[in-house]
Amino acid sequence: MTRPDEAAQLSQQDMAAILAVTRGLAAPFELHAMLAEVTAAACAVLRAERSSVWLHDAASDEMVLEISSDIAQVRVPLGSGLVGACARERRPINVPDCYADARFDPSVDRRSGFRTRCSLTLPLIDHRAQFIGVMQVLNKAGGVFDRGDEALAEALAAQCGVALSRVRMTAALIEAEKVQRELELARELQQSSLPATLPVVAGYDMHATFLPAALTGGDTYDLALTEQGLWVVIGDATGHGIAPALSVERMHAMLRMALALGTDLETTFRRVNDQLAATLPAGHFVTAFIGLLDPAAHRLRFISGGQSPILHWHAADRRCSLHKAGSFPMGAMPIVALRPAVTIDFAPGDVLALLTDGVYEQENGRAEQFGLARVEAVLGQHADTPAADLAGAFLSALRTFADSQLQEDDVTMVLLKRR
Amino acid sequence: MDMATRDLESDVRCIALTGRLDAPGADHIDTAFTAAAVASGGAVLVDLSGVSFIASMGIRLLIAGARGLHAKGGQMVLFGAQPLVYTVLDQAALDQIIPLAGTQQEALERLAA
Protein backbone atom coordinates (compact mmCIF):
# COMPACT_ATOMS: atom_id res chain seq x y z
CA MET A 1 0.00 0.00 0.00
CA THR A 2 1.08 3.58 -0.52
CA ARG A 3 2.54 5.19 2.53
CA PRO A 4 1.20 8.63 3.55
CA ASP A 5 4.47 10.43 2.84
CA GLU A 6 4.52 8.95 -0.66
CA ALA A 7 0.87 9.68 -1.26
CA ALA A 8 1.64 13.25 -0.36
CA GLN A 9 4.10 13.37 -3.22
CA LEU A 10 1.36 12.55 -5.74
CA SER A 11 -0.08 15.55 -7.50
CA GLN A 12 -3.79 16.18 -7.89
CA GLN A 13 -3.43 15.09 -11.51
CA ASP A 14 -1.69 11.85 -10.50
CA MET A 15 -4.38 11.10 -7.91
CA ALA A 16 -7.07 11.63 -10.55
CA ALA A 17 -5.26 9.24 -12.89
CA ILE A 18 -4.96 6.55 -10.18
CA LEU A 19 -8.66 6.91 -9.30
CA ALA A 20 -9.60 6.57 -12.97
CA VAL A 21 -7.50 3.41 -13.18
CA THR A 22 -9.08 2.02 -10.00
CA ARG A 23 -12.52 2.50 -11.50
CA GLY A 24 -11.33 0.82 -14.71
CA LEU A 25 -9.91 -2.13 -12.77
CA ALA A 26 -13.19 -2.76 -10.96
CA ALA A 27 -14.96 -3.81 -14.15
CA PRO A 28 -13.12 -6.67 -15.93
CA PHE A 29 -13.64 -10.25 -14.77
CA GLU A 30 -11.44 -11.86 -17.39
CA LEU A 31 -7.68 -12.11 -16.88
CA HIS A 32 -6.48 -10.88 -20.25
CA ALA A 33 -8.91 -7.94 -20.30
CA MET A 34 -7.67 -7.03 -16.82
CA LEU A 35 -4.01 -7.31 -17.84
CA ALA A 36 -4.63 -5.12 -20.89
CA GLU A 37 -6.29 -2.56 -18.60
CA VAL A 38 -3.37 -2.67 -16.14
CA THR A 39 -0.62 -2.32 -18.73
CA ALA A 40 -2.41 0.48 -20.58
CA ALA A 41 -2.95 2.31 -17.29
CA ALA A 42 0.72 1.91 -16.29
CA CYS A 43 1.92 3.35 -19.62
CA ALA A 44 -0.48 6.28 -19.42
CA VAL A 45 0.05 7.19 -15.76
CA LEU A 46 3.84 6.79 -15.79
CA ARG A 47 4.34 8.12 -19.32
CA ALA A 48 6.25 4.96 -20.22
CA GLU A 49 6.84 3.58 -23.71
CA ARG A 50 5.93 0.07 -22.70
CA SER A 51 4.64 -1.92 -19.76
CA SER A 52 4.19 -5.58 -18.96
CA VAL A 53 2.78 -7.77 -16.21
CA TRP A 54 4.49 -10.99 -15.18
CA LEU A 55 2.43 -13.43 -13.14
CA HIS A 56 3.94 -15.87 -10.68
CA ASP A 57 3.28 -19.52 -11.58
CA ALA A 58 3.45 -21.18 -8.19
CA ALA A 59 3.49 -24.68 -9.71
CA SER A 60 6.73 -24.15 -11.65
CA ASP A 61 8.04 -21.23 -9.56
CA GLU A 62 8.53 -19.24 -12.76
CA MET A 63 7.48 -15.76 -13.80
CA VAL A 64 5.20 -15.79 -16.84
CA LEU A 65 4.73 -12.83 -19.17
CA GLU A 66 1.05 -13.07 -20.03
CA ILE A 67 0.56 -9.97 -22.10
CA SER A 68 2.74 -7.99 -24.41
CA SER A 69 1.94 -6.81 -27.91
CA ASP A 70 5.05 -8.27 -29.52
CA ILE A 71 5.95 -11.46 -27.61
CA ALA A 72 3.69 -14.47 -27.04
CA GLN A 73 4.39 -16.10 -23.68
CA VAL A 74 7.75 -15.81 -21.95
CA ARG A 75 8.75 -17.75 -18.84
CA VAL A 76 11.72 -16.93 -16.68
CA PRO A 77 12.97 -18.65 -13.54
CA LEU A 78 12.09 -16.78 -10.34
CA GLY A 79 15.54 -15.26 -9.81
CA SER A 80 16.33 -14.32 -13.42
CA GLY A 81 16.59 -10.76 -14.81
CA LEU A 82 15.17 -7.64 -13.20
CA VAL A 83 11.70 -9.23 -13.08
CA GLY A 84 13.12 -12.24 -11.25
CA ALA A 85 15.13 -10.04 -8.90
CA CYS A 86 12.02 -8.02 -8.03
CA ALA A 87 10.05 -11.24 -7.49
CA ARG A 88 12.73 -12.55 -5.17
CA GLU A 89 13.29 -9.34 -3.21
CA ARG A 90 9.61 -8.22 -3.24
CA ARG A 91 10.55 -4.55 -3.52
CA PRO A 92 10.57 -1.95 -6.35
CA ILE A 93 13.70 -1.79 -8.50
CA ASN A 94 14.37 1.45 -10.39
CA VAL A 95 17.15 1.11 -12.97
CA PRO A 96 18.07 4.30 -14.93
CA ASP A 97 20.43 2.47 -17.34
CA CYS A 98 19.48 -1.16 -17.85
CA TYR A 99 22.42 -2.22 -20.02
CA ALA A 100 24.74 -1.07 -17.23
CA ASP A 101 22.92 -3.22 -14.64
CA ALA A 102 24.20 -6.80 -14.17
CA ARG A 103 20.71 -8.05 -13.27
CA PHE A 104 19.24 -6.98 -16.63
CA ASP A 105 18.54 -9.79 -19.11
CA PRO A 106 18.89 -8.41 -22.69
CA SER A 107 17.52 -11.59 -24.33
CA VAL A 108 13.91 -10.33 -24.20
CA ASP A 109 15.03 -7.20 -26.11
CA ARG A 110 16.73 -9.42 -28.68
CA ARG A 111 13.51 -11.38 -29.20
CA SER A 112 11.25 -8.33 -29.45
CA GLY A 113 13.59 -5.89 -31.21
CA PHE A 114 12.81 -3.32 -28.52
CA ARG A 115 15.63 -1.33 -26.91
CA THR A 116 15.21 -0.99 -23.15
CA ARG A 117 16.76 2.16 -21.79
CA CYS A 118 15.46 2.50 -18.24
CA SER A 119 12.99 0.46 -16.20
CA LEU A 120 10.87 0.48 -13.06
CA THR A 121 9.88 -2.93 -11.73
CA LEU A 122 7.40 -3.46 -8.87
CA PRO A 123 6.00 -6.46 -7.02
CA LEU A 124 2.23 -7.03 -7.19
CA ILE A 125 0.90 -7.98 -3.78
CA ASP A 126 -2.76 -8.72 -3.10
CA HIS A 127 -4.92 -7.79 -0.09
CA ARG A 128 -3.87 -10.98 1.75
CA ALA A 129 -0.21 -9.95 1.32
CA GLN A 130 0.29 -12.78 -1.21
CA PHE A 131 2.83 -12.19 -3.97
CA ILE A 132 1.09 -12.61 -7.32
CA GLY A 133 3.44 -11.09 -9.87
CA VAL A 134 5.51 -8.20 -11.12
CA MET A 135 4.64 -5.05 -13.05
CA GLN A 136 7.32 -3.48 -15.18
CA VAL A 137 7.36 -0.17 -17.06
CA LEU A 138 10.10 0.66 -19.57
CA ASN A 139 11.56 3.88 -21.01
CA LYS A 140 10.08 6.99 -19.41
CA ALA A 141 9.23 9.56 -22.07
CA GLY A 142 12.02 12.12 -22.16
CA GLY A 143 14.09 10.81 -19.22
CA VAL A 144 14.30 8.24 -16.43
CA PHE A 145 11.83 7.24 -13.70
CA ASP A 146 12.22 9.43 -10.59
CA ARG A 147 11.13 9.15 -6.95
CA GLY A 148 7.73 10.62 -7.80
CA ASP A 149 7.21 7.96 -10.48
CA GLU A 150 8.10 5.28 -7.93
CA ALA A 151 5.39 6.52 -5.53
CA LEU A 152 2.87 6.71 -8.35
CA ALA A 153 3.84 3.22 -9.61
CA GLU A 154 3.52 1.77 -6.09
CA ALA A 155 0.03 3.20 -5.73
CA LEU A 156 -0.88 1.75 -9.12
CA ALA A 157 0.73 -1.63 -8.30
CA ALA A 158 -1.26 -1.88 -5.06
CA GLN A 159 -4.53 -1.41 -6.99
CA CYS A 160 -3.44 -3.82 -9.73
CA GLY A 161 -2.39 -6.50 -7.22
CA VAL A 162 -5.81 -6.57 -5.60
CA ALA A 163 -7.64 -6.43 -8.94
CA LEU A 164 -5.59 -9.26 -10.48
CA SER A 165 -6.08 -11.41 -7.41
CA ARG A 166 -9.85 -10.87 -7.68
CA VAL A 167 -9.82 -11.91 -11.36
CA ARG A 168 -7.79 -15.02 -10.59
CA MET A 169 -10.17 -16.05 -7.81
CA THR A 170 -13.18 -15.41 -10.04
CA ALA A 171 -11.58 -17.52 -12.79
CA ALA A 172 -11.01 -20.37 -10.32
CA LEU A 173 -14.65 -20.15 -9.18
CA ILE A 174 -15.92 -20.17 -12.77
CA GLU A 175 -13.72 -23.19 -13.57
CA ALA A 176 -15.02 -25.09 -10.53
CA GLU A 177 -18.57 -24.20 -11.53
CA LYS A 178 -17.92 -25.46 -15.08
CA VAL A 179 -16.60 -28.80 -13.80
CA GLN A 180 -19.60 -29.09 -11.49
CA ARG A 181 -22.02 -28.37 -14.36
CA GLU A 182 -20.29 -30.93 -16.57
CA LEU A 183 -20.62 -33.56 -13.85
CA GLU A 184 -24.30 -32.71 -13.35
CA LEU A 185 -24.88 -33.03 -17.08
CA ALA A 186 -23.09 -36.39 -17.11
CA ARG A 187 -25.28 -37.57 -14.24
CA GLU A 188 -28.48 -36.44 -15.96
CA LEU A 189 -27.41 -38.22 -19.12
CA GLN A 190 -26.61 -41.38 -17.18
CA GLN A 191 -29.84 -41.34 -15.17
CA SER A 192 -31.98 -40.61 -18.23
CA SER A 193 -30.99 -43.89 -19.87
CA LEU A 194 -31.99 -46.03 -16.88
CA PRO A 195 -35.41 -47.68 -17.01
CA ALA A 196 -38.05 -45.70 -15.10
CA THR A 197 -39.78 -48.86 -13.91
CA LEU A 198 -38.74 -52.49 -13.96
CA PRO A 199 -40.75 -54.99 -15.99
CA VAL A 200 -42.94 -57.51 -14.21
CA VAL A 201 -42.09 -61.11 -15.05
CA ALA A 202 -44.14 -63.91 -13.53
CA GLY A 203 -42.08 -66.15 -11.28
CA TYR A 204 -39.24 -63.65 -10.95
CA ASP A 205 -38.28 -60.97 -8.46
CA MET A 206 -35.81 -58.35 -9.62
CA HIS A 207 -34.18 -55.26 -8.18
CA ALA A 208 -31.74 -52.68 -9.55
CA THR A 209 -29.64 -50.22 -7.56
CA PHE A 210 -27.68 -47.30 -8.96
CA LEU A 211 -25.66 -45.07 -6.64
CA PRO A 212 -23.61 -42.57 -8.62
CA ALA A 213 -20.22 -41.56 -7.26
CA ALA A 214 -19.64 -37.89 -6.44
CA LEU A 215 -16.98 -37.26 -9.04
CA THR A 216 -16.90 -39.76 -11.82
CA GLY A 217 -18.29 -43.06 -13.05
CA GLY A 218 -20.02 -44.57 -16.01
CA ASP A 219 -22.32 -47.36 -14.86
CA THR A 220 -25.57 -48.32 -16.47
CA TYR A 221 -28.13 -51.12 -16.36
CA ASP A 222 -31.24 -52.14 -18.20
CA LEU A 223 -34.04 -54.62 -17.69
CA ALA A 224 -36.38 -54.81 -20.68
CA LEU A 225 -39.08 -57.28 -21.63
CA THR A 226 -39.42 -58.04 -25.34
CA GLU A 227 -41.01 -60.89 -27.31
CA GLN A 228 -37.75 -62.76 -26.94
CA GLY A 229 -37.72 -62.61 -23.16
CA LEU A 230 -36.21 -60.47 -20.42
CA TRP A 231 -33.03 -58.62 -21.37
CA VAL A 232 -30.68 -58.11 -18.46
CA VAL A 233 -27.89 -55.61 -18.94
CA ILE A 234 -25.24 -54.08 -16.72
CA GLY A 235 -22.36 -51.95 -17.94
CA ASP A 236 -19.43 -49.91 -16.66
CA ALA A 237 -17.62 -47.43 -18.91
CA THR A 238 -14.05 -46.43 -18.14
CA GLY A 239 -12.74 -42.90 -17.94
CA HIS A 240 -13.20 -39.65 -16.04
CA GLY A 241 -15.70 -36.80 -16.23
CA ILE A 242 -18.41 -36.75 -18.86
CA ALA A 243 -16.72 -39.26 -21.23
CA PRO A 244 -17.94 -42.47 -19.52
CA ALA A 245 -21.50 -41.11 -19.31
CA LEU A 246 -21.40 -40.48 -23.07
CA SER A 247 -20.01 -43.99 -23.68
CA VAL A 248 -22.75 -45.75 -21.72
CA GLU A 249 -25.41 -43.52 -23.24
CA ARG A 250 -24.18 -44.57 -26.68
CA MET A 251 -24.14 -48.24 -25.71
CA HIS A 252 -27.65 -47.92 -24.32
CA ALA A 253 -29.02 -46.32 -27.48
CA MET A 254 -27.42 -49.01 -29.70
CA LEU A 255 -28.73 -51.75 -27.45
CA ARG A 256 -32.30 -50.43 -27.37
CA MET A 257 -32.21 -50.16 -31.15
CA ALA A 258 -31.03 -53.77 -31.48
CA LEU A 259 -33.75 -54.95 -29.09
CA ALA A 260 -36.39 -53.01 -31.03
CA LEU A 261 -35.25 -54.74 -34.21
CA GLY A 262 -35.70 -58.11 -32.51
CA THR A 263 -32.15 -59.35 -33.08
CA ASP A 264 -30.85 -62.35 -31.14
CA LEU A 265 -28.33 -62.24 -28.30
CA GLU A 266 -25.22 -62.99 -30.34
CA THR A 267 -26.05 -60.53 -33.12
CA THR A 268 -26.97 -57.84 -30.60
CA PHE A 269 -23.72 -58.28 -28.71
CA ARG A 270 -21.60 -58.30 -31.84
CA ARG A 271 -23.32 -55.27 -33.40
CA VAL A 272 -23.16 -53.15 -30.28
CA ASN A 273 -19.51 -54.09 -29.71
CA ASP A 274 -18.45 -53.34 -33.27
CA GLN A 275 -20.33 -50.05 -33.38
CA LEU A 276 -18.77 -48.99 -30.10
CA ALA A 277 -15.32 -49.98 -31.41
CA ALA A 278 -15.93 -47.79 -34.45
CA THR A 279 -17.30 -44.78 -32.57
CA LEU A 280 -15.77 -44.57 -29.08
CA PRO A 281 -12.61 -42.48 -28.70
CA ALA A 282 -9.32 -44.40 -28.34
CA GLY A 283 -8.86 -45.89 -24.89
CA HIS A 284 -12.59 -45.89 -24.08
CA PHE A 285 -14.68 -49.02 -23.72
CA VAL A 286 -17.51 -50.46 -21.67
CA THR A 287 -17.38 -53.66 -19.66
CA ALA A 288 -20.87 -55.07 -20.09
CA PHE A 289 -23.01 -58.11 -19.45
CA ILE A 290 -25.88 -58.75 -21.84
CA GLY A 291 -28.21 -61.60 -20.95
CA LEU A 292 -31.56 -62.87 -22.23
CA LEU A 293 -33.84 -64.79 -19.88
CA ASP A 294 -36.48 -67.18 -21.15
CA PRO A 295 -38.83 -66.95 -18.14
CA ALA A 296 -40.85 -69.98 -19.20
CA ALA A 297 -37.83 -72.26 -19.52
CA HIS A 298 -36.04 -70.55 -16.60
CA ARG A 299 -32.97 -70.37 -18.74
CA LEU A 300 -30.67 -67.36 -19.09
CA ARG A 301 -28.15 -67.08 -21.91
CA PHE A 302 -25.53 -64.37 -21.66
CA ILE A 303 -22.39 -62.92 -23.15
CA SER A 304 -20.16 -60.81 -20.98
CA GLY A 305 -17.73 -58.33 -22.44
CA GLY A 306 -15.13 -57.94 -19.72
CA GLN A 307 -17.79 -57.76 -16.98
CA SER A 308 -16.95 -60.23 -14.24
CA PRO A 309 -17.41 -62.06 -11.99
CA ILE A 310 -20.98 -63.10 -12.73
CA LEU A 311 -22.48 -64.73 -9.66
CA HIS A 312 -25.10 -67.46 -9.72
CA TRP A 313 -26.42 -68.39 -6.27
CA HIS A 314 -27.76 -71.95 -6.16
CA ALA A 315 -30.47 -72.04 -3.50
CA ALA A 316 -30.70 -75.84 -3.35
CA ASP A 317 -27.14 -76.45 -2.21
CA ARG A 318 -26.46 -72.92 -0.93
CA ARG A 319 -23.39 -72.24 -3.02
CA CYS A 320 -22.24 -69.66 -5.51
CA SER A 321 -20.88 -70.41 -8.95
CA LEU A 322 -18.81 -67.80 -10.77
CA HIS A 323 -18.72 -67.17 -14.46
CA LYS A 324 -16.01 -65.18 -16.15
CA ALA A 325 -16.32 -62.89 -19.15
CA GLY A 326 -16.48 -64.65 -22.51
CA SER A 327 -15.42 -61.61 -24.48
CA PHE A 328 -13.19 -58.58 -23.98
CA PRO A 329 -14.64 -55.22 -22.84
CA MET A 330 -17.14 -53.91 -25.41
CA GLY A 331 -15.79 -51.43 -27.89
CA ALA A 332 -12.13 -52.27 -27.22
CA MET A 333 -11.90 -53.70 -30.76
CA PRO A 334 -14.16 -55.38 -33.36
CA ILE A 335 -15.07 -58.98 -32.66
CA VAL A 336 -13.23 -61.50 -34.82
CA ALA A 337 -14.52 -64.72 -33.27
CA LEU A 338 -17.28 -64.58 -30.69
CA ARG A 339 -17.25 -67.34 -28.10
CA PRO A 340 -20.58 -69.11 -27.50
CA ALA A 341 -23.01 -67.61 -25.00
CA VAL A 342 -23.06 -69.13 -21.51
CA THR A 343 -26.28 -70.73 -20.24
CA ILE A 344 -27.57 -70.60 -16.68
CA ASP A 345 -30.56 -72.69 -15.58
CA PHE A 346 -32.54 -71.09 -12.76
CA ALA A 347 -33.88 -73.37 -10.05
CA PRO A 348 -36.39 -71.98 -7.52
CA GLY A 349 -34.68 -69.49 -5.19
CA ASP A 350 -31.63 -69.08 -7.43
CA VAL A 351 -30.18 -65.58 -7.75
CA LEU A 352 -28.18 -63.90 -10.50
CA ALA A 353 -26.07 -61.15 -8.92
CA LEU A 354 -24.45 -58.59 -11.22
CA LEU A 355 -22.39 -55.98 -9.41
CA THR A 356 -20.05 -53.38 -10.88
CA ASP A 357 -16.49 -52.56 -9.81
CA GLY A 358 -17.79 -49.89 -7.47
CA VAL A 359 -18.84 -52.73 -5.15
CA TYR A 360 -15.81 -55.02 -5.47
CA GLU A 361 -13.26 -52.20 -5.43
CA GLN A 362 -14.76 -50.09 -2.61
CA GLU A 363 -11.90 -49.49 -0.19
CA ASN A 364 -11.84 -49.09 3.56
CA GLY A 365 -9.39 -46.97 5.57
CA ARG A 366 -6.73 -49.68 5.40
CA ALA A 367 -6.72 -49.70 1.55
CA GLU A 368 -8.44 -53.11 1.55
CA GLN A 369 -11.13 -53.77 -1.04
CA PHE A 370 -14.62 -55.11 -0.39
CA GLY A 371 -13.83 -57.97 -2.75
CA LEU A 372 -15.49 -61.15 -3.91
CA ALA A 373 -15.38 -63.05 -0.60
CA ARG A 374 -17.51 -60.40 1.17
CA VAL A 375 -19.96 -60.32 -1.75
CA GLU A 376 -20.34 -64.10 -1.50
CA ALA A 377 -20.77 -63.87 2.28
CA VAL A 378 -23.68 -61.40 1.88
CA LEU A 379 -25.28 -63.71 -0.69
CA GLY A 380 -24.87 -66.64 1.70
CA GLN A 381 -26.69 -64.79 4.46
CA HIS A 382 -29.38 -62.92 2.54
CA ALA A 383 -30.07 -64.77 -0.72
CA ASP A 384 -33.32 -66.13 0.78
CA THR A 385 -34.78 -62.64 1.19
CA PRO A 386 -36.58 -60.65 -1.57
CA ALA A 387 -34.28 -59.04 -4.16
CA ALA A 388 -34.86 -55.55 -2.70
CA ASP A 389 -33.83 -56.75 0.77
CA LEU A 390 -30.79 -58.51 -0.63
CA ALA A 391 -29.79 -55.22 -2.33
CA GLY A 392 -30.24 -53.46 1.02
CA ALA A 393 -28.01 -56.04 2.69
CA PHE A 394 -25.28 -55.46 0.09
CA LEU A 395 -25.43 -51.68 0.60
CA SER A 396 -25.43 -52.02 4.35
CA ALA A 397 -22.39 -54.34 4.28
CA LEU A 398 -20.64 -52.00 1.85
CA ARG A 399 -21.26 -48.93 4.04
CA THR A 400 -20.11 -50.69 7.18
CA PHE A 401 -16.97 -51.86 5.41
CA ALA A 402 -16.17 -48.48 3.82
CA ASP A 403 -16.72 -46.67 7.14
CA SER A 404 -16.02 -43.05 6.23
CA GLN A 405 -14.12 -43.73 3.00
CA LEU A 406 -15.39 -41.90 -0.06
CA GLN A 407 -17.37 -43.82 -2.68
CA GLU A 408 -15.06 -43.32 -5.65
CA ASP A 409 -16.93 -45.23 -8.32
CA ASP A 410 -20.58 -45.79 -9.23
CA VAL A 411 -22.17 -48.66 -7.33
CA THR A 412 -24.61 -50.56 -9.51
CA MET A 413 -26.33 -53.86 -8.77
CA VAL A 414 -28.82 -55.90 -10.75
CA LEU A 415 -30.32 -58.81 -8.83
CA LEU A 416 -32.59 -61.34 -10.51
CA LYS A 417 -34.19 -64.01 -8.40
CA ARG A 418 -36.43 -66.92 -9.32
CA ARG A 419 -39.24 -67.14 -6.77
CA MET B 1 3.50 -47.80 -9.04
CA ASP B 2 6.80 -47.91 -10.90
CA MET B 3 7.66 -48.50 -14.51
CA ALA B 4 10.99 -49.41 -16.13
CA THR B 5 11.62 -49.71 -19.85
CA ARG B 6 14.45 -51.62 -21.48
CA ASP B 7 15.04 -52.65 -25.07
CA LEU B 8 15.63 -56.35 -25.55
CA GLU B 9 17.43 -57.84 -28.54
CA SER B 10 15.89 -57.62 -32.00
CA ASP B 11 13.71 -54.52 -31.53
CA VAL B 12 11.59 -55.80 -28.69
CA ARG B 13 10.81 -53.38 -25.89
CA CYS B 14 10.09 -54.66 -22.40
CA ILE B 15 8.10 -52.53 -19.95
CA ALA B 16 8.28 -53.81 -16.38
CA LEU B 17 5.53 -52.63 -14.04
CA THR B 18 5.90 -52.81 -10.27
CA GLY B 19 3.34 -52.11 -7.55
CA ARG B 20 -0.45 -51.86 -7.37
CA LEU B 21 -2.11 -51.29 -10.72
CA ASP B 22 -5.27 -49.81 -9.18
CA ALA B 23 -6.84 -46.41 -10.04
CA PRO B 24 -4.06 -44.27 -8.44
CA GLY B 25 -1.36 -46.61 -9.79
CA ALA B 26 -2.78 -46.52 -13.32
CA ASP B 27 -3.18 -42.73 -13.14
CA HIS B 28 0.42 -42.39 -12.01
CA ILE B 29 1.94 -44.14 -15.04
CA ASP B 30 -0.83 -43.58 -17.58
CA THR B 31 0.89 -41.16 -19.95
CA ALA B 32 4.37 -42.66 -19.54
CA PHE B 33 3.13 -46.21 -20.16
CA THR B 34 1.05 -45.31 -23.20
CA ALA B 35 3.90 -43.25 -24.62
CA ALA B 36 6.48 -46.00 -24.05
CA ALA B 37 4.21 -48.68 -25.51
CA VAL B 38 2.78 -46.81 -28.47
CA ALA B 39 5.96 -44.93 -29.40
CA SER B 40 7.84 -48.19 -29.94
CA GLY B 41 5.43 -49.05 -32.77
CA GLY B 42 6.86 -52.57 -32.74
CA ALA B 43 6.82 -55.44 -30.29
CA VAL B 44 6.23 -54.69 -26.63
CA LEU B 45 6.39 -57.15 -23.75
CA VAL B 46 4.84 -56.06 -20.48
CA ASP B 47 6.39 -57.70 -17.44
CA LEU B 48 3.66 -57.99 -14.79
CA SER B 49 5.67 -60.06 -12.30
CA GLY B 50 6.06 -57.04 -10.01
CA VAL B 51 2.34 -56.16 -10.04
CA SER B 52 0.72 -57.26 -6.80
CA PHE B 53 -2.82 -56.13 -7.58
CA ILE B 54 -4.83 -55.00 -10.59
CA ALA B 55 -8.18 -53.18 -10.74
CA SER B 56 -10.41 -52.02 -13.59
CA MET B 57 -8.39 -48.88 -14.29
CA GLY B 58 -5.27 -51.03 -14.62
CA ILE B 59 -6.99 -53.19 -17.22
CA ARG B 60 -8.04 -50.05 -19.03
CA LEU B 61 -4.42 -48.88 -19.12
CA LEU B 62 -3.25 -52.17 -20.67
CA ILE B 63 -6.03 -52.17 -23.26
CA ALA B 64 -5.45 -48.53 -24.20
CA GLY B 65 -1.72 -49.22 -24.67
CA ALA B 66 -2.36 -52.37 -26.70
CA ARG B 67 -4.94 -50.67 -28.91
CA GLY B 68 -2.66 -47.71 -29.58
CA LEU B 69 0.21 -50.03 -30.42
CA HIS B 70 -1.98 -52.23 -32.60
CA ALA B 71 -3.10 -49.19 -34.58
CA LYS B 72 0.55 -48.52 -35.42
CA GLY B 73 1.09 -52.10 -36.53
CA GLY B 74 2.74 -53.23 -33.31
CA GLN B 75 1.94 -56.03 -30.91
CA MET B 76 1.80 -56.37 -27.12
CA VAL B 77 2.23 -59.50 -25.02
CA LEU B 78 1.84 -59.65 -21.23
CA PHE B 79 3.83 -62.08 -19.12
CA GLY B 80 4.67 -63.08 -15.58
CA ALA B 81 1.32 -62.19 -13.93
CA GLN B 82 1.04 -63.35 -10.33
CA PRO B 83 -1.93 -65.71 -9.65
CA LEU B 84 -4.22 -62.99 -8.25
CA VAL B 85 -3.53 -60.65 -11.17
CA TYR B 86 -3.78 -63.51 -13.68
CA THR B 87 -7.24 -64.43 -12.34
CA VAL B 88 -8.52 -60.86 -12.78
CA LEU B 89 -7.14 -60.62 -16.35
CA ASP B 90 -8.52 -64.06 -17.20
CA GLN B 91 -11.96 -63.23 -15.70
CA ALA B 92 -12.17 -60.11 -17.87
CA ALA B 93 -11.22 -62.10 -21.00
CA LEU B 94 -8.29 -59.77 -21.59
CA ASP B 95 -6.34 -62.56 -23.32
CA GLN B 96 -8.62 -62.09 -26.31
CA ILE B 97 -7.01 -58.70 -26.89
CA ILE B 98 -3.55 -59.06 -25.38
CA PRO B 99 -1.90 -62.50 -25.23
CA LEU B 100 -0.92 -63.61 -21.71
CA ALA B 101 2.31 -65.60 -21.46
CA GLY B 102 3.92 -67.23 -18.44
CA THR B 103 7.53 -66.21 -18.86
CA GLN B 104 9.53 -63.71 -20.90
CA GLN B 105 10.73 -66.55 -23.15
CA GLU B 106 7.16 -67.68 -23.77
CA ALA B 107 6.18 -64.07 -24.47
CA LEU B 108 8.96 -63.79 -27.08
CA GLU B 109 7.74 -67.04 -28.64
CA ARG B 110 4.18 -65.61 -28.82
CA LEU B 111 5.57 -62.63 -30.73
CA ALA B 112 7.29 -64.90 -33.21
CA ALA B 113 4.18 -67.06 -33.68
Q: Which residues constitute the domain of residue B94? A: 2-112
Query: Which residues of chain A form CATH 3.30.450.40?
Result: 4-175
B96 reaches A (C-beta below 8 A): yes
| Model confidence band, residue B113 (pLDDT cutoffs 50, 70, 90) | confident
- Asked if residue A66 lies in contact with residue A35, where contact means CB atoms within 8 angstroms, the answer is yes
CB contact under 8 A, A332 and B67: yes
Rounded to whole angstroms, the Cα distance separating A6 from A9 reads: 5
**Res B39 pLDDT > 60:** yes
User: Which chain A residues in 219-248 lie under 8 Å from chain B, judged by CB atoms?
Assistant: 236, 238-239
Q: What is the pTM of this model?
A: 0.70
CA distances from A241 to A187, B7, B33, B97 (A): 10, 36, 21, 26
- Tell me the CATH architecture of domain A193-418: 4-Layer Sandwich (3.60)
Question: What pLDDT, on the 0 to 100 scale, is given for residue A31?
Answer: 76
The complex's ipTM works out to 0.84
Q: Is A398 exposed, middle or buried, given 0-12, 13-18 or 19+ CB atoms closer than 10 A? A: buried
If DSSP codes are grouped into helix, strand and coil, which group holds residue A188?
helix
pLDDT at position A27 over 70: no
A282 part of contact set with chain B, CB < 8 Å: yes
Task: Assess contact for B24 and B1: CB atoms under 8 A.
Answer: yes
Q: Report whether pLDDT(A215) > 80.
A: no
| pLDDT for position A28 | 64
A6 pLDDT higher than 60: no
Segment A241-257 shows an average pLDDT of 84
Closest Cα in chain B to A288: B92
Phi/psi at A200 (5° precision): -105, 125
Q: Report yes or no: A262 and A227 within 8 Å, Cβ to Cβ.
A: yes
Question: CA of A322 to nearest chain B CA: how many angstroms apart?
Answer: 10
Judged by a CB distance cut-off of 8 A, whether residue B67 touches chain A is yes
- What class, spelled out in words, does domain A4-175 have in CATH? alpha beta
Say yes or no: B3 contacts chain A, CB-CB below 8 A.
Answer: no
Task: Give me the pLDDT at residue A221, please.
Answer: 94
* pLDDT tens column, B57-79: 899 899 989 988 888 889 999 99
Question: CATH 3.60.40.10 region(s) of chain A?
Answer: 193-418
Long-range pairs, A90-94, Cβ under 8 A, ≥24: A90/A123, A90/A125, A90/A131, A91/A123, A92/A120, A92/A121, A92/A122, A92/A123, A92/A150, A92/A153, A92/A154, A92/A157, A93/A119, A93/A120, A93/A121, A93/A122, A94/A119, A94/A120, A94/A121, A94/A145, A94/A149, A94/A150
Number of separate domains in chain B: 1
Average pLDDT of the residues of chain A:
88
Selected residue of B31, B60, B70 to mutate for chain A interface (largest A Cβ count, 10 A): B60
Q: What is the CATH number of the domain that holds B40?
A: 3.30.750.24
Question: Mean pLDDT over residues A274-298, rounded?
Answer: 91
**Highest-scoring range by mean pLDDT, A172-176, A343-347, B88-92:** A343-347
